[in-house]
Structure 1
């Protein structure tokens, strides 16, 4: 499975499924963050113990693992590392900008609203701004909505060392992220949250999903066999999905609550074992059941979702602001929450799609120039 520098790897054709899936995950995240009571029933987080976060971490690892492997094979490890560091720098600066703008929105709402909307964890920034800014810069101050991008920064820092080990140790390198995950579950390893906040996504646990995705991305690029489709795996995946459904329905009081052992195994911040298994089961089922390209993927709605998925980072950032605004409006007007949700969620989704379309139009000239250079 090693990728010597002289190997002539080719960029694989774009997988339409991934773009459509990423777009749907963005819409799901927007709906989940809005804390509504109507549209929420239409996303898979309502029916299982994992949600869109797990799939995004896995897919991000898959994409970056493939990109790093391709760059490493064509231009060497140093070039691949420089490219990765530039991506990390961009993501870190994106987090800083989003944090600053989100804080401005939160404090503006507090000053102008007769009933200030809930803003968990942002008080430390007002009470001790210098320390709070320092905590934000080291990614350990994570008030409401500011916990996911730091996770991606941490995981991306692990990517190059992990892929370097994969070249030398083969699949045995996976033992390290699995060992760190196990240690997190047993000993409760987690970075300290600052300013009274908690780390929403324990990076010592969640790195496993990201690095598994990177392993899959590298594996696919090197031409490894596709994922197995053994009947026993379908049974196992079905059992895991059913267990997740049982836990969730128990929360709604529709069935007898699941045992405490299952509940504890679905804990989100530390990516409990059931939650991890549920996310992997769903990802495997989609990968082996949904074809790479199908006529329905070219319909209007899938094409809009694919467009959103192609610009997922920027759409996600806008979605944070829109979802907080929707959640605040629903909380401030509980009497009309149902009709506000029916109106605002579709409007917010349309705004995300329009934003993605605008970004795509801006990217077209650069894309055409890149294709022209490749032909030359």
Structure 2
């Protein structure tokens, strides 16, 4: 990167922390299988969900962090930093994988929910651990809910080469990502899954991460991402309305053409409808939500912001809590109507308390921009 005037670290955007916090709560609720509380999150009212936004914002934040280090003349440090983050996240994935296997097996036996581990895809690990563990380390064996962290590992590993290319050819650097995404949509390329499918194919999902990284770099260097234009707001709003219509047809709330329901499908390859919906939603949030308002400083705002600042740790805890809620709802199906809201709300409160505890552990010396 050409050396120019020093670039100051931008002030932390409270909106991003709160949005990331809301996404973590939404992901937790969506993973609580059988919970009718899922109607309270935005994924129930459109085509995309929090997964797309989480990947996009992570790309934006990491792209900004990497660019800042590079712009200050520490390109080697930036590459070393992103490599360390990638390896740390990979280790976290393996640890969560092993702990989740033990956790589910323990829940199954203690609650008497026969066959739950097999139903969730853990049978390969229990029957052939010598093959399953290396496959998990390669991120190709993904039982239920074990697919999101591998996406970040792959995308973070690609970040440095991508931003190197952006520095040299600008927005054209998105062309290889777009072509790879297109090939994944056509079925020409795919990441193989061992004993189970790949929940989020990196061949496709890398595009939304790279879009985020490109915009994060642009925001750091120019002070803006995309213009706030009435026409763009109108188009993005129409996309969200169309997404709501498609979702209502898919849930059989209203009657409509069968092809409309297909818009909510294809999450594993980030279907174009999902990508467009996610980008439209992100744009509207950026264009219409002010950087700071009084409600962001109330109890809920503070709780969401803390969750957002510790999104990786909260996400991992949320996986365990959501599995416990899912299994309890299945075990006590007859009482689920009143058990459901209590379990889900309690889980969300636990996530908030956990984030508060993590915040208290931080020292001023370690208070830095962390993106994951």
TM norm. shorter chain > 0.5: yes
1:290-323 Cα distance to aligned partner (Å, 9 max, x none): 0111111111111110011100000000000000
Partner of 1:310: 309
Quickly say closer, same or farther: Cα 1:168–1:43, change in 2 above 3 A. same
- Asked if the contact 2:296/2:302 (under 8 Å) is kept, the reply is yes
Identify the residue that residue 123 of structure 2 maps to in structure 1: 123
2:288 is matched with 289
2:98 to 93, 97, 100: 100
Alignment pair present for 1:27 and 2:25: yes
Tell me how far apart the structure 2 counterparts of residues 149 and 76 of structure 1 sit (CA, whole Å): 28
Q: Take 1:315 and 1:154, find their aligned partners in 2: how far apart are those partners? A: 21
Q: Deviations over 1:170-207 (max 9, x none)?
A: 1111111111111111234211111x210000101100
Indicate conservation of the 8 Å contact 1:266/1:273, yes or no. no
Alpha-carbon distance in 2 for matches of 1:271, 1:35: 21
Q: Secondary structure at the match of 1:229?
A: coil
Corresponding residue number in structure 2 for 1:350: 349
Cα deviation, 1:116-148, whole Å, max 9, x if unaligned, reads 363311000011101000100101000011000
Q: Taking structure 1 as reference, are residues 80 and 69 closer, same or farther at Cα in structure 2, changes over 3 Å only?
A: same
Partner of 2:74: 76
TM-score calculated relative to the size of structure 2: 0.95
Counterpart of 1:65 in structure 2 is 63
- Once the two structures are TM-superposed, the CA of residue 361 in structure 1 deviates from its matched residue by 0.7
The within-5 A match list for 1:253-264 is 253-260=252-259, 263=262
State the 1:362 CA deviation.
0.6
| Closer/same/farther in 2, CA of residues 225 and 29 from structure 1, 3 Å limit | closer
Alignment of 1:270-281 (within 5 A): 270-281=269-280
Which runs of structure 2 are paired with 1:1-376 in the superposition (5 Å)? 3-116=1-114, 118-119=116-117, 120-194=120-194, 196-260=195-259, 263=262, 266-367=265-366
For the residue of structure 1 that corresponds to 2:267, the secondary structure is coil
In structure 1, distance between residues paired with 2:261 and 2:109: 43
What value does the CA root-mean-square deviation take over the aligned residues? Answer: 1.7
Residue 266 of structure 1 and its aligned partner are, at CA, apart by 4.0
Q: Secondary structure at the match of 2:186?
A: helix
Gaps of 5+ in 1: 371-376
The alpha carbon displacement at 1:9 in A equals 1.1
